[in-house]
Each structure stands twice: as C-alpha cells, then as structure tokens.
C-alpha cells in the first residue's frame, strides 16, 4: 500500500521534504477558499486549485487555478488533493483526480451517495491510491501539514497517533491530549459515513509501524463494526503500544441515525456495548468521557514502561 | 432509555409497503391485485372495485404488523366495517397508520425470502435468498448469500441462486425473472435495500411478492425526482433538514445541542451518565453561526416538554461571541425563555461570557460543569 507518511512528508532526500505540494478541488467556493487560506496559514504547501471554467485565474493573486485536475497535476507534480466540491459532484471530481494520478485524495463533502463512494473506492484500489473520507475533517501531521478543515489550536506535534470517525470529537480529544502533554504524530479523520475510503483498520495499518509513535488513540462511535474489526486486528497483529479508545453514542436509542449516516445501531450490531467489549478483549481501555482519554493513556504508558 | 421518538432516518427513506409495490409493479414483479386508501369512505369504494374476500394491511414504516393485529382478512362488508377502523386506529412501535392496503388473497404453498442490499463492509450489492421465508431476516434459516458487484444481477447468477435454494421448473423461472427485475429496480433507484418477504409459491408453482420493503439513499435524491413523492417528514424535521441539522427527538426534558454528530452523541452519553434525560439530539453541523444556533433554539422552542437546553459547541475557529449573540437574540425575540447551560470552546470566550452575564444563559469552561448544572437545574 502507498505509504501515507511518504505522501504527506516525503523522504529526507526529497527536494520538497516536509513541504509536499497539495492541490485544492473546488478552491473558489466559499468553503474551499476559507479552508485553503487556513491550510496555507498552517504551513501546507498549496500549489494549485481546480475549478472548471476558471482556469488561468489566480486564487488570492498567487495560486494558479486550472480547469482540470490533470492540468494542475502536470503543472505542479502534486499527488495530494483536498476536495471541497458539493456532494453531487463528488463522483466526477474524485474520478478525475484518481485518473490524473492523485495518490492521496482527502474528500471533505458530506452527503455523498453511497453508490458513488463505492465506485470511487473501486477505482482507487485499481490506481493504488488512498481516499480519506468522504465526510472527513481531513488528515494532518501537526505543525507540519494539514490537509482538511481541522482548526489548528487543539493539535500539537508529538508521538500519539489519533484516529477518529467524528470531526469535532477529534478536535475535543486532541485538545485533551495536547493539554495533558500528549502531542500527536499524525491524526486521521475517518469520516462519519457508512463507507469510508480509509477504514479504522486501514488507518491502523498506515500508522502501526511508525517507529517514533508512543501510543494510539481511537475515537469511534456507534454503527457498523469497524471498531470491532480494528480491535481484532490489534489482537492478531500483536501491536503492543499503549492504546486507548473512546466510543460515542452509548446513550443513543437503537435504530435511529445519530447525525452521521453511519451512526445507527441495529439490534446489537453497531452497539457501543459490542465495541467496548471487543476493545476490552484487546486489552484496550475505553474512556467514558473525552477528558478521560489522556488519563487512561497515561496509565497505559506507566504500565508499559 | 428511549421509548418513543419521531421517525427520522437521516440519510435513508423507508417506503411503505404499497409504495414499494408501486415500484415492483412498474418493474413487472408479480403481485396480487391491491389498492390503497387513507379513510373508510375511500376504502368502501376501493373494496367494491377489488371484490371480497381480501386482506387489509396497515401501512406503517416499521415491521411487526402481523403480530400487532395490523393485517386482517375481510370476507364481506360487515367484516370490513368492523375491522377497518380497528386496523386504521392501531399504533405500531409508535407509528400511526399512514394508509391501508386492500389486497386479494392467494393460495400459498410455500414462502421464500429474497433481498438485495448495499453491503457496506464488502462495498457491493449482495443477494440473500432462502427457501424458508416469511419470518424476520434474523430468523431466516439456510440463507444463500451472494455478492453481486455494483451492476445488474446477470441471469446466470440468478439461476445459480435459484438452484442453491432448491427451486425448479416454473418456480425457478419465476424466481430468476423476479431477481433480475428486482436488481434492475434496486440499481436504477440506488436503493440500500429491496426485500420481498415473503415471496410466495402459489398453487400453480408461480411466485408472487406478498410483502415489499424498499429503502433508498437520501443522498442520491438529487438524481431521483420520481421518489420525492414518498418523502414524509414532520414540520420540525423538515426545518431541521433545511438548515442542514440532524435531529432525533427523545423523551427527556433537557435538549442537547452541539456541532458535529460525535460531539453531540458524546454529550448525550455524559448527560445520561449524570442522570439527565435528553429531550433531543440536535447537531447543527460542523460550524456554528449566529443563524444556525438561533434556528436550533427556535426548533427546540417548538418541541414542548423541554425544560433546559444544554449546548456543547467546539468552535476552534468559531467565535463564541457569535454564538452568544444568537442566545441574546433568541431571548430578545421571545423565541425561548428557558435556561441555557452552555460550554463554548472557541475564541473570545471571555467576551462571550461578559455578553451573557445578565441573561439566562450560563457559560461553563468544561462540558462536565455545564452538564452538572443542567441536571441540577432540571431537578429544581
């Protein structure tokens, strides 16, 4: 599989090590332009934008805009794209990016039809590309690169890998970790959709062998079985680094979608109990509140010393 | 925790049986003659057209109708006059009758199960078939499960499934025909689930769809104007959706509002852990603006039973003063007169606190403090 760190950071011998070029699909929209500016401010190397019909113009007088992803990729060599197009244009825009050679596609839009996601993921597999999302806040290496919509304040560079289905809960828990002195080596928003380009288990595979990582925090929620599958993978892989989980939705009623399309409990399938018991089986404590996450993590750190 | 909530599927829509059957009929799937109606006057006319005997079936967007007495046979007018109002008046799992379906009866030899659904973990459509249908899917034995990709089910695959559940002759031919048509319907409408249970074998060996369940993906609605007529939403749900909110009504007295589904769920969990009873789950979406928070308060004010409002916003780049303005405006306009317990994480929070000093909104630094205060307040 394509190495996500290599894509985001590069290798020390690369000319653009630590400042990998990123393009923005939908750069001229209200949402796209707001977050493009925020990413630039964070230090992300935004090199081009794509908006059909606006090729030749410049975003904020600096960043060239192209009509197609292919032109943007040819001109810049970017392999990362952050996508801010409306959900109904997701299918076309995502296919275009993958066909143009984008290897890391961060899909921000919510309300993408499930079938469109499936089609894009089939193509991504053929192209050996990583799709994060749809409905993701994005991915970041704190204090180095941010590809997404996360506010910068909760995050700090460090040694904890943080994976989350939810956006605002990711910020909340990053904030709690940072306040307790646990910076993050990488944070990945999985997205709240029922079908994720990068599932929890894929994200785990991306981060599990990072030598500098000291611990892992997984923020899940009710619905589906990706937490259970992840817990099983952690057991099977013999992963021994301190790991803590948090599951939102214990008090949610069954058979109701709780905001996220994927957050629904059917019978015991998708229930918090099922996830908590699998994590416990994997010897992973599950916090009751976001503020408890760093406390449990610190506990695991002491034990593993 | 929750016994009764309004129906809100968020990203999917479950059609009523007669609506699913309208689509089945359009795609040529074999059905019994049937007509639907919404009142007894109309029902009497429909009964004459259809002719006795027939069954009357309550139309609700939940299962378990048979056990609840929602399906009754009518041999004549007297039985119809007696049973129609009874069935129409039923409440099943909190759902009232949307309509009544009048349908002819069949001489059933055997009941099969057939469904096609969007398999999220396998990322493709999957067929489930069984020769032992007529019960809920969890209880269907000897299931044959076959992944079929994202396109139509080809005839040879349908034939293999038919053999796998032990069909032959006319029944097997009918099964293949129905599965191919059902798959065409599912793909064209981008449904998440199309289920025929039971799929009945009648005396001449042919197959008839006795019941139908059809769940669509709301997110693909922009490609399906033809499905809009099946949409059913309460005023509050409609307003919530228009604002881009997600709302689930619950039966407690503390309304829970926040930005981001995960954060609101988390707040709901902590509130429940502290003995509070949530009145609703209201996610105003990732951002928070004066308008969105004002609209959220407006929706809550229409819910009744709410005694306290708990707000948990993780702003990050949101100015909390912007949210504070919404509270002040909502009080000024008389939209709410309830106490609000809020935790606003974001910029300018000191300024926001000062703005709200003399209002009924209290700002807390931690969500735990806001929850404790809301629970204590609700008990007073």
Q: What is the pLDDT of residues A85-139, one digit of tens each?
A: 999 999 999 999 999 999 999 999 988 999 999 999 999 999 999 999 999 999 9
The answer to whether residues A158 and A152 touch, using CB atoms and an 8 Å cutoff, is no
Lowest mean pLDDT among A72-86, A237-251, B136-150: B136-150
Q: In the predicted model, what is the mean pLDDT of chain A? A: 94
Which structure tokens are listed for B154? 């080809």
Residues of chain A found within 8 Å of residue B316, distances taken between Cβ atoms:
150-154, 171
> What pLDDT shows up at residue A33?
95
Residues of chain B found within 8 Å of residue A169, distances taken between Cβ atoms:
260, 262-263, 266
Cis peptide, bond prior to residue B198, ω within 30 of zero = yes
Phi, psi of B88 (to 5 degrees): -60, -30
Asked about A111 being catalytic, the answer comes back as: no
> pLDDT digit of tens for each residue in chain B (380 aa)?
222 222 333 456 789 999 999 999 999 999 999 999 999 999 999 999 999 999 999 999 888 898 999 999 999 999 999 999 999 999 998 789 999 999 999 999 999 999 998 887 788 899 999 999 988 877 888 899 999 988 899 999 999 999 999 999 999 999 999 999 999 999 999 998 999 999 999 999 999 999 999 998 888 989 999 998 887 766 777 788 788 788 888 889 999 999 889 999 999 999 999 999 999 999 987 667 788 889 989 989 888 889 999 999 887 666 778 888 998 999 999 999 899 999 988 777 788 888 988 888 888 889 999 999 999 975 54
Residues of chain B found within 8 Å of residue A287, distances taken between Cβ atoms:
none
Which of B11, B273, B366 comes nearest A288 by C-beta? B273
Q: How far is B222 from chain A (nearest CA, A)?
A: 8
Q: What is the CA radius of gyration of chain B?
A: 26
Lowest mean pLDDT among A47-61, A212-226, B218-232: B218-232
Provide mean pLDDT across the span A206-219: 95
Say yes or no: A125 contacts chain B, CB-CB below 8 A. no
> What pLDDT shows up at residue B378?
59
Contact B260 A168 (CB under 8 A): yes
Say yes or no: B61 contacts chain A, CB-CB below 8 A. no
- Provide the 10 A C-beta neighbour count for residue A282: 18
From the candidates B17, B103, B195, B348, which is the catalytic residue?
A: B195
Rounded-to-5 percentages of helix, strand, coil across chain A = 35, 20, 40
> What pLDDT shows up at residue B11?
58
Q: How far apart are CA A8 and CA A167, in angstroms?
A: 20
What residue ranges in A26-183 does DSSP mark as E strands? 45-50, 58-59, 63-66, 80-83, 104-107, 130-132, 138-141, 145-148, 157-164
Which structure tokens are listed for A116? 């469109």
Q: How far apart are CA B179 and CA B184, in angstroms?
A: 9
Q: What percent of chain A has pLDDT over 70?
A: 98
> What pLDDT shows up at residue B10?
44
Say yes or no: A290 contacts chain B, CB-CB below 8 A. yes
DSSP type of residue A297: H
Which structure tokens are listed for A197? 């380009």
> What pLDDT shows up at residue B69?
95
Q: Find the length of chain A.
A: 305
> What pLDDT shows up at residue A1?
56
In chain A, residues 218-257 whose CB comes closer than 8 Å to chain B: 219, 221-222, 224-225, 246, 248-253, 256-257
Residues of chain A found within 8 Å of residue B249, distances taken between Cβ atoms:
none
Which structure tokens are listed for B45? 């006319």
The model's pLDDT over A55-71, given as tens digits with 9 standing for 90+, comes to 999 999 999 999 999 99
Give the torsion through C-alpha atoms of A150, A153, A155, A157, to 10 deg.
130
Higher pLDDT, A261 or A114: A114
């Amino acid at each position: 599989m394509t190495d996500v760190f290599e894509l985001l950071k590069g290798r020390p011998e690369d000319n653009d090590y630590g400042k990998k070029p990123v393009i923005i699909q939908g750069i001229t929209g209200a949402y796209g332009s707001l977050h493009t500016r925020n990413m630039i401010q964070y230090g992300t190397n935004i090199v081009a934008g794509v908006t059909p019909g606006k090729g030749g113009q410049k975003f904020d007088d600096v960043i060239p805009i192209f009509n197609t992803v292919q032109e943007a990729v040819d001109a810049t060599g970017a392999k990362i794209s952050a996508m801010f197009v409306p959900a109904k244009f997701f299918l076309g825009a995502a296919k275009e990016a993958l066909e143009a050679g984008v290897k890391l596609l961060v899909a921000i839009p919510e309300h993408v039809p499930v079938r469109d996601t499936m089609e894009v993921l089939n193509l991504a597999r053929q192209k050996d590309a990583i799709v994060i999302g749809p409905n993701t806040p994005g991915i970041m290496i704190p204090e180095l690169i941010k590809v997404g919509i996360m506010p910068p304040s909760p995050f700090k560079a460090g040694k904890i890998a943080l994976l989350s289905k939810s956006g605002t809960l990711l910020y909340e828990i990053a904030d709690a970790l940072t306040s307790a002195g646990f910076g993050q080596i990488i944070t990945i928003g999985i997205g709240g959709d029922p079908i994720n380009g990068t599932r929890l288990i894929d994200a785990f595979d991306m981060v599990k062998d990072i030598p500098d990582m000291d611990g892992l925090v997984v923020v899940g929620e009710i619905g589906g079985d990706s937490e259970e599958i992840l817990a099983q993978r952690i057991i099977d892989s013999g992963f021994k680094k301190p790991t803590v989980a948090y599951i939102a939705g214990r008090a949610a009623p069954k058979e109701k979608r709780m905001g996220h399309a994927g957050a629904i409990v059917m019978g015991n399938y998708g229930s918090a109990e099922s996830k908590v018991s699998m994590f416990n089986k994997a010897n992973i404590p599950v916090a009751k509140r976001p503020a408890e996450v760093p406390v449990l993590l610190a506990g695991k750190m002491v034990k593993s010393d | 925790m929750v016994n009764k909530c309004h129906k809100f599927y968020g990203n999917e829509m479950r059609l009523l049986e007669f609506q699913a059957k309208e689509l089945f009929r359009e795609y040529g799937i074999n059905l019994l003659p049937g007509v639907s109606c919404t009142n007894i006057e109309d029902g009497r006319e429909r009964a004459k057209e259809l002719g006795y005997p027939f069954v009357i079936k309550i139309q609700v967007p939940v299962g378990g109708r048979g056990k609840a007495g929602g399906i009754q046979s009518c041999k004549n007018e007297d039985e119809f006059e007696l049973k129609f109002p009874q069935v129409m008046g039923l409440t099943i799992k909190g759902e009232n009758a949307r309509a009544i379906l009048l349908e002819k009866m069949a001489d059933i030899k055997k009941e099969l199960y057939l469904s096609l659904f969007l398999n999220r973990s396998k990322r493709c459509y999957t067929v489930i078939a069984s020769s032992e249908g007529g019960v809920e899917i969890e209880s269907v034995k000897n299931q044959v499960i076959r992944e079929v990709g994202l396109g139509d089910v080809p005839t040879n695959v349908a034939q293999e499934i038919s053999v796998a559940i032990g069909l032959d002759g006319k029944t097997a031919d009918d099964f293949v025909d129905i599965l191919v048509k059902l798959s065409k319907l599912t793909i064209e409408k981008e449904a998440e689930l199309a289920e025929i249970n039971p799929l009945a074998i009648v005396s001449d060996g042919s197959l008839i769809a006795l019941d139908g369940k059809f769940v669509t993906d709301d997110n693909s609605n922009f490609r399906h104007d033809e499905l809009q007529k099946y949409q059913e939403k309460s005023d509050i749900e409609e307003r919530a959706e228009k604002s881009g909110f997600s709302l689930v009504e619950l039966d407690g007295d503390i309304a829970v509002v926040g930005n981001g589904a995960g954060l609101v769920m988390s707040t709901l969990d902590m509130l429940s852990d502290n003995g509070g009873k949530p009145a609703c789950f209201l996610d105003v979406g990732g951002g928070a603006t004066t308008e969105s928070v004002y609209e959220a308060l407006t929706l809550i004010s229409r819910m009744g039973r709410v005694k306290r409002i708990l707000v948990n916003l993780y702003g990050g780049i949101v100015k909390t003063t912007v949210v504070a303005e919404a509270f002040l405006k909502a009080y000024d306009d008389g939209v709410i007169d309830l106490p609000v317990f809020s935790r606003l994480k974001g910029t300018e929070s000191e300024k926001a606190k000062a703005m709200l000093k003399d209002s009924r909104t209290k700002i807390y630094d931690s969500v735990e403090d806001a929850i404790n205060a809301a629970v204590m307040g609700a008990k007073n």
